[in-house]
């Protein structure tokens, strides 16, 4: 209910309690908050942030279309600063962000995307070759391994060598942190203790490996002819090149953000398809016929039903009037992906997995935004959907799926993402006859 306060309503729990509930149990906490307080909810969470969750689509449009000088996305993502670095494209604002975004954009649009198709296909086939049919396994782990291989090739151009092998293992540890581990990112005291100290040591070693790779690449004789992201950034024309620290921050951002979200989207897709024979049959038909439109719809619906990132953030640099309230400068506004994606007003029967809702006209503009919105929409959105489409096509040409357990998996919070609680356990079964028919058809 509206109150006389200039700020939106919200719970009066201690900061620690609100932080834990929001950080580790937000998939259950947010629906309760919305039922109690409505489309605008104020929270207080560590580290020293006053936030306002937004579940109203029209208000979210105001945020995404608002002036970048007022709505700072970089400052809104400050929780990621200890890992991504202060120069990360996710952490900067205004002119610095625009400069970095322009440098990264060519690697994820147009001809570059088309150039990745063969590489993604080859790596996907190699991954699927290693699978054992008729045995339960956690497909989320395999999707993480696959998408990490893909992003390593995109960022560095190669995936072999002792340095990249060590980096591959360490990045897995960086990703595999819980919501409470994030406390250690912002606390020098905790970084001296137990798992937080180990996390810090891993982060330092990742930095050493990436800086060594940057140093080697600067001296590569064929640098001008390379098309990977690192080489592109090292050969940018002009008199304002990125420093090694700036390069490190962009590379870490791409390596971490560029594979985890896609892997999780694919894991949720396969989790749902294993339990939905109708959607699985339609996906198999689409894979056999090369119907990438439907395959992309599968990935989009998985991202709707299971948002990987629950919200996006904008920190206010000045007071604003918003939804009948005054939100002061310094507050962080959080357009809630989870709230909007689960709203039956925008997505009928929102609890049902139905890729067909993304065919035809699809959901109304602004009611599906897993990649954020406005000028800060994720640079890798197109690449992520391309990956997902190729993986689904190759997988369903080979296999049919069944679930490994009777009950659907719960959602678990891991760092800032929402993942399948038991790794999306499935069983794959060979489709021998369809593969034979395709082989005969291809020879003809």
- Give start and end residues of each alpha helix (H) in 176-193: 181-185
Q: Report pLDDT digits (tens) over 281-310.
A: 999 999 999 999 999 999 999 999 999 999
CA angle 420/422/425 to nearest 5° reads: 90
* Domains by residue range for the chain, with CATH: 15-443 (1.10.630.10)
Quick: pLDDT tens for 371-399. 999 999 999 999 999 999 999 999 999 99
- Annotate 64-101 with DSSP letters as a single string: HHS-TTTEEHHHHTGGGHHHH-TTSTTT--HHHHHHHH
**Cα–Cα dist 158/363, whole Å:** 39
Backbone angles phi, psi at 337, to 5 degrees: -60, -45
Residue 133, CB-side half-sphere exposure with 13 Å CA sphere: 10
**Is it the case that residue 19 has pLDDT exceeding 70?**
yes
Torsion over CA: 284, 338, 383, 413 (sign): negative
Mean predicted lDDT score pLDDT of the chain: 90
CA distance 33 to 26: 10
Q: What DSSP letter does each residue of 249-311 carry, written as one string?
A: HHHHHHHHHHHHHHHHHHHHHHHHHHT-HHHHHHHHHHHHHT-HHHHHHHHHHHHHHS-SB-B
Q: Kindly state the average pLDDT of the residues 261-281.
A: 97
pLDDT > 70: what percent of the chain? 93
Report pLDDT digits (tens) over 309-353: 999 999 999 999 999 999 999 999 999 999 999 999 999 999 999
Mean pLDDT of 262-291: 97
Q: Is the per-residue pLDDT at 194 higher than 80? A: no
429 close to 396: Cβ distance less than 8 angstroms? no
pLDDT for 181 beyond 90 = no
Residue 351 is predicted with a pLDDT of: 96
Cα distance between residue 82 and residue 179, in whole Å: 14
At 51 the pLDDT is: 95
The pLDDT of residue 178: 60
369 pLDDT exceeds 60?
A: yes
Residue among 54, 31, 29 nearest 42 (CA): 54
Identify the pLDDT of residue 48. Answer: 65
Omega into 175 within 30° of 0, i.e. cis?
no
Residues 87 and 354: their CA atoms lie apart, in Å, by 39
Q: Rounded distance, CA 214 to CA 110, Å? A: 26
Residue 414: predicted pLDDT: 79
Q: How many CA atoms lie within 13 A of 363 on its CB side?
A: 24
Nearest to 334 by CA among 357, 301, 310: 310
Residue 351 CB-density burial (10 A; 0-12 exposed, 13-18 middle, 19+ buried):
exposed
- Taken as a whole, the chain contains a residue count of 444
Local confidence band at 429 (pLDDT 50, 70, 90 cut-offs): very high
pLDDT for residue 2: 43
């Amino acid at each position: 209910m509206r109150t006389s306060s200039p700020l939106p309503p919200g719970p009066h729990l201690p900061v620690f309690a609100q932080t834990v509930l929001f950080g580790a149990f937000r998939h259950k906490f947010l629906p309760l908050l919305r039922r109690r307080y409505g489309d605008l909810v104020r929270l207080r969470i560590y580290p020293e942030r006053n936030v306002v969750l937004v579940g109203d689509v029209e208000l979210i449009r105001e945020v995404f279309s608002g002036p970048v000088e007022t709505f700072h996305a970089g400052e809104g993502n400050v929780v990621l600063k200890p890992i991504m670095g202060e120069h990360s494209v996710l952490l900067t604002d205004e002119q610095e962000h625009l400069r970095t975004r322009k440098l990264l954009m060519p690697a994820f649009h147009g001809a570059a995307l088309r150039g990745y198709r063969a590489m993604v296909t080859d790596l996907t086939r190699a991954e699927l070759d290693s699978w054992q049919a008729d045995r339960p396994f956690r497909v989320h782990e395999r999707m993480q391994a696959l998408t990490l291989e893909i992003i390593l090739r995109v960022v560095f151009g190669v995936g072999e060598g002792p340095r990249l092998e060590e980096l591959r293992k360490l990045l897995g540890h960086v990703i595999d942190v819980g919501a409470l581990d994030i406390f250690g990112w912002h606390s020098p005291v905790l970084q001296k203790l137990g798992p937080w100290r180990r996390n810090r040591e891993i982060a330092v070693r990742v930095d050493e490996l990436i800086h060594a790779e940057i140093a080697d690449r600067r001296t590569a004789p064929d640098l001008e002819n390379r098309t990977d992201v690192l080489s592109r950034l090292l050969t940018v024309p002009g008199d304002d090149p990125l420093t090694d620290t700036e390069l490190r921050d962009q590379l870490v951002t791409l390596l971490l953000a560029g594979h985890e979200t896609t892997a999780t989207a694919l894991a949720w897709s396969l989790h749902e398809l294993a339990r939905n024979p109708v959607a699985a049959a339609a996906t198999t038909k689409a894979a056999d016929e090369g119907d990438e439109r439907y395959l992309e719809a599968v990935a989009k619906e998985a991202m709707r039903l299971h948002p990987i990132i629950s919200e996006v953030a904008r920190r206010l640099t000045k007071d604003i009037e918003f939804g009948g309230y005054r939100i002061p400068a310094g507050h962080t506004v959080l357009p809630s992906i989870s709230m909007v994606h689960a709203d039956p007003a925008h997505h009928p029967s929102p609890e049902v997995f139905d890729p067909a809702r993304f065919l035809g006209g699809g959901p109304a503009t602004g009611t599906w935004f897993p990649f954020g919105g406005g000028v800060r929409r994720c640079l890798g959105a197109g690449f992520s959907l391309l990956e997902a489409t190729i993986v689904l096509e190759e997988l369903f040409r080979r296999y049919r799926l069944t679930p490994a357990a009777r009950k659907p998996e719960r959602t678990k919070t891991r760092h800032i993402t929402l993942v399948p609680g038991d790794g999306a356990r499935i069983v794959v079964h060979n489709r021998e006859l369809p593969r034979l028919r395709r082989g005969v058809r291809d020879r003809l």
